[in-house]
Chain A
Amino acid sequence: MTTRDEIAWLARRAGWGLAPGRLDELVALGTDAVIDLLVEPTNNGIATEDSPWATFEYVDDREQRQTQGLDVLNRWVTHLLDTERAFENSLAWFWHDHFAVSFQVVQHLPTLIEHLDLIRDQGLGDFRELIRAVSTDAAMLVFLDGATSTGSAPNENYGRELLELYTLGIGNYTENDVKAAATALTGWVVRRRLGGEVQFVDRRHDDTQQTFLGVSGVHDVDTVVEATIDHPACPGFIAGKMARHYLGAVDDSLVDDLAGSFASAGLDVATLGRGVLEAGVEGQGTPQVMAPVPWLLQAMNSTGTRLEPRAQVGLMRGMGQVPGSPPNVGGFPGASTWLASSATAARFGAANLIARETPSDSVALAAASDGRWDELADVLLRPSGLSTPTIDALDGLVGSADRPGEAALALALASPDLLIA
């Protein structure tokens, strides 16, 4: 890959696309420097950013629920389009998919926001601390029923998913481990009347010493998290999941290497992230079908388009991926869903809406209008060009819209080329 291809790859996979001109700036810095900026933004002079919802004011009123939900989503999208800390936000998105906390279950915007802030603030740090924080996070306590689990009748939901989905993977624990975790994790409640405050209530907790994952004396959240994170399967499980998220299908040997350095670095996520991105620019990734939200944001970034919040969520819903609403605890689905008829039809409509809303001074629109397909491809972060069928189809579209370039821009965005990152 050329440096330009490498940076474009990073922007597609580990970021939210780039506004026109930004690719040139980053290519001038070089690949290594760009990876440094992505993985260690603060150490490289990029200021920390406020929460997307720092100025959001929650109103507890059914009538305003609609507007408030739209506002929360739109702030999130705006933040992702404007951020200088792309990878931090990309990892927050990865963790959102990983933990899959859904507003459908949480049903309280401030609690969801707190969770999203947590996975952004801690998502590039120590994995042990992340899991510890998530384990008594209000949104998670509601999402997987820890908040209603008691010593006399423990609820196994979080205990099971902590092991199966969040840290170790199936085959690395027993049903008795699930029960032990459920028992030791009891006692945490969420006080909705206090705005979702988390409290530990001793009388709801069963402090019996459990043997959990072969470790004796486990009795509370701290000891559960310790035993879980210290399990030898943990680094490989997380490394594998992150590698597949960013790189697509990967060799087991790469996962082993990544897991090794992740473990040596004390489960520092930035170290793992760096390893993943370096493997990617070395060409160890495979072509990947883009999920709808990254696809949409990259299209908006490249064209300089901003959408009306209601229309924006409509597009995401149509394509089957709404931030804050993973369909189940397994997170967002994968390529076969994004390639299915529903998502394909919705993506075509979304491409048309973005083209319609693209500002007239957009570089992408001008390139589309003039039939400069190589330049259009570059703005759309495909510096090595579009495929022959797409170029032929674009050639056939000249003059198909009242506004010059609009039809070709819509088609380029909807093309198979743009769906593959």
Chain B
Amino acid sequence: MLSRRAFIGAAAGAAATGGGMWALTVRDSVGESLGATASTTTTTSTTTTAAAAGSAVPYGDRVLVVLEMSGGNDAVNTLIPAAGAYHDNRPHLAIAEVDRVVLGGTDYTLHPSLAPIAPFWENASMAAIAGVGMVGQSRSHFKAMDTWWSAVPGTPSRTGWLGRWLDATLEAERNGVNDPLRAIALGGGSPALVGDINMATVVRDPGNFQLRTFPGTDAEALIGAFLATAEPLATVPELAAAQLAIPFTIDAVELLASVSGADDGSEVFRAGPQGGATSAVDLLDTAAGIIDLGIGTRVITVGISAFDTHADQLARHEGLLADVGTGLAGFFDRLESDGNADKVMVVTTSEFGRRVQENGSGGTDHGNGGLQFVFGPEVAGQQVIGDLDLVDLDNGDLVSAIDTRSVYSTALDWLGGPVDEILGGSHEDLGLLTA
């Protein structure tokens, strides 16, 4: 509902301001963004209250990657506390200590499947935020996700936290001209990207992102005609929204085709490791490819799912975290070899943590007290901020002592641009960045 109304609103807004020329404008803005990465001078007007001093990377080149792990990742079996209560609550689900990844200097260990990201801990480019959530954190997937996306607890919001940032910086970074390639959602759309103005490009399955025609038809004429159906925009908002999607799609396909892998289309009920459309490994690899294109993309969301481990959690969670761990390691490897590692920060999200005590199905039910990770060269690493206190529980759940907006605030601050107006006031500085 939130995203639909916002989308239609955005379409209507574009219809009112863009007129018949907007298809051309989209192409121009892509051209501009290509130029912008060559000169890196177009974003200097962006201001921020806490510039990361000493960073060599101009704000306009920075890319925030948000890895959305939907379903409610089990914090306690991801970042495992060294407490006797852990084994007491998890007789079937406890991970043997000998298998876990040691996080030096802390009371925590990582799930063995996250071994691929241990080097980030070692080189101090990774931090964990434990016991994190939103005010009034809900145990409903949908309500919790809405709040994590909007960052407006308690009241319905049309827009998402990233969408508002993209809107707020549009004037400074793109002279107010919408560029759907500034924000790309991989694996599925993210309501976090919905703004009043912002339109994101959604690539559900990078291996299958193309405009397919068949031999014996004039592909160029068909694609040209497809584009022509989009203008002038209709007055019916839904029809206008359907029109508006077309040029954005054509531009995105042309630009992104070069980073997409192949898809043999052989599976019927196709799934990533745990039922999601595509794996974190593939999606993060595509994200690295997009960053290397240098088309001015500022925000990438990567959507993976199936963290709702009510049953058979041991095996399922192992697979899910292996996908995340391998995906992140491969992502930073590729960034490093492409020379882009300095430009990127990764933040993970998940709508809630799970109940401390396991249920009878070898799983865990919806809880509170979530977990986030932050990665990047400017992250003040080797810290676990907050805690997963298994003793002082609230109705069987971990407490969310840290407000997610503090983490968002750090990420947006690093990205550049206004923060407080986007997140409804200032939020605690968690010390997540190196000064």
Interface on A for B, CB 8 Å cutoff? 66, 69-70, 73, 102-105, 144-145, 148-150, 152-157, 160, 164, 170, 175, 178, 248, 286-289, 310, 313-314, 317-318, 320, 322, 324-325, 327-330, 333-337, 339-346, 348-349, 352-353, 356, 387, 389-390, 392-394, 396-397, 400-403, 406-407, 410-411, 414-417, 419-420
Contacts and interface: CB of A to CB of B under 8 A. Distances in A.
Closest CB pairs A-B (n = 10): A153-B360, A349-B212, A148-B361, A340-B202, A416-B242, A69-B268, A342-B204, A150-B360, A104-B275, A402-B216
Contact of A411 (B8, B222, B270): B222
B120 interface: no
Interface in B247-282: 248-249, 252-253, 265-271, 275, 277
A21 to B, nearest CB: 27
Given A335-B4, A342-B202, A400-B218, A416 B243 contact: yes
Contact of A352 (B205, B214, B271, B395): B214
Nearest to B227: A393
Interface of A is mostly: helix
Contacts of A156: 310, 359, 365-366
B130 to A, nearest CB: 23
A401 B222 CA distance: 9
B131 to A, nearest CB: 19
B205 A318 contact: yes
Interface stretch (B47-55, B169-177, B228-236): B228-236
Contacts of A397: 221-222, 225
Contacts of A178: 139
15 contacts: A69-B268, A69-B269, A153-B360, A164-B142, A320-B204, A328-B308, A333-B188, A335-B238, A340-B201, A341-B252, A344-B246, A345-B209, A352-B217, A397-B222, A401-B216
B204 A103 contact: no
A325 B269 contact: yes
Given A155-B310, A335-B238, A104 B271 contact: yes
Contacts of B218: 400-401, 407
B189 A333 contact: yes
A402 to B, nearest CB: 4
A141 to B, nearest CB: 11
A66 B231 contact: no
Contacts, number: 241
Contact of A393 (B1, B6, B228): B228
Interface residues of B, number: 83
B359 A389 contact: no
B140 interface: yes
B245 A337 contact: no
B341 interface: no
A170 B241 CA distance: 30
A330 B141 contact: yes
A400 B104 CA distance: 66
B305 A327 contact: yes
A152 B91 CA distance: 14
B253 A416 contact: no
Contacts of A341: 180, 201-203, 209, 245, 248-249, 252-253
Contacts of B270: 317, 322
Interface string B150-190: 00000000000000000000000000000010000100110
B238 A334 contact: no
A87 to B, nearest CB: 23
Interface of B: 1, 3-4, 6-8, 70-71, 138-143, 180, 185, 188-189, 194, 201-205, 208-214, 216-218, 221-226, 228-232, 234, 236-239, 241-246, 248-249, 252-253, 265-271, 275, 277, 305-306, 308, 310-311, 358-363, 365-366, 395
Given A327-B305, A334-B3, A389-B229, A419 B242 contact: yes
A353 B210 CA distance: 13
B239 A416 contact: yes
Given A164-B140, A349-B212, A417-B239, A407 B221 contact: yes
Contacts of A336: 3-4, 6-7, 189, 194
B365 A157 contact: yes
A309 B211 CA distance: 21
A39 B249 CA distance: 39
A70 to B, nearest CB: 5
A19 B418 CA distance: 56
B189 A286 contact: no
B208 A318 contact: yes
Nearest to A71: B268
B69 to A, nearest CB: 13
B372 to A, nearest CB: 21
A320 B365 CA distance: 28
Given A102-B275, A341-B252, A415-B229, A170 B216 contact: no
Given A73-B268, A342-B205, A416-B243, A289 B238 contact: yes
Nearest to A419: B242
